[in-house]
């Protein structure tokens, strides 16, 4: 009986997760069709993220150790993982610089 209860909770959590994904992804898309300029801005932002990823992917190395090669991590996957990590570092740095600039600009005003 206890296993059934835990499975029921897991199924309910999957259903609630699906509803949340629909709420986060689909509803803003429906709302965006009211204002096409927002769609263009969103596509530009998505394109910029793609450019940042391509730059990060180009910078990253494809080195793997024997331990990771045995687990199925090849050179291409290593390069993608490195690209994602470098992209995260770049975006975090940009966010920190933006925050510092914003606070400095407020203090000077």
Same domain as 69, residue 51: yes
Same domain as 43, residue 14: no
Contacts of residue 75, Cβ cutoff 8 Å, sequence gap at least 6: 62, 63, 64
Same domain as 53, residue 3: no
pLDDT at residue 76 in the model: 87
Overall number of domains in the chain: 2
Same domain as 30, residue 40: no
pLDDT at residue 77 in the model: 87
pLDDT at residue 4 in the model: 57
pLDDT at residue 87 in the model: 95
pLDDT tens, the chain, 109 aa long: 555 556 778 889 999 999 999 899 888 888 888 887 878 888 899 999 999 999 999 999 888 888 878 888 888 888 999 999 999 999 999 999 999 999 999 998 7
Same domain as 40, residue 30: no
pTM of the predicted protein model: 0.66
Same domain as 19, residue 7: yes
pLDDT at residue 83 in the model: 93
- At residue 11's C-alpha, the angle toward residues 7 and 12, to 5°, is 115
- Domain holding 24, by residue range, is 1-34
């Amino acid at each position: 009986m206890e296993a059934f209860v835990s499975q029921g909770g897991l199924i309910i959590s999957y259903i609630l997760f699906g509803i949340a994904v629909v709420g986060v992804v689909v509803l803003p898309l429906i709302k965006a069709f009211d204002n096409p300029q927002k769609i263009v801005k969103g596509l530009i932002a998505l394109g910029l993220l793609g450019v940042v990823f391509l730059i990060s992917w180009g910078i990253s190395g494809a080195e793997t150790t024997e331990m990771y090669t045995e687990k199925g991590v090849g050179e291409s996957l290593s390069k993608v993982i490195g690209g994602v990590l470098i992209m995260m570092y770049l975006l975090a740095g940009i966010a920190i610089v933006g925050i510092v600039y914003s606070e400095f600009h407020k203090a000077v005003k």
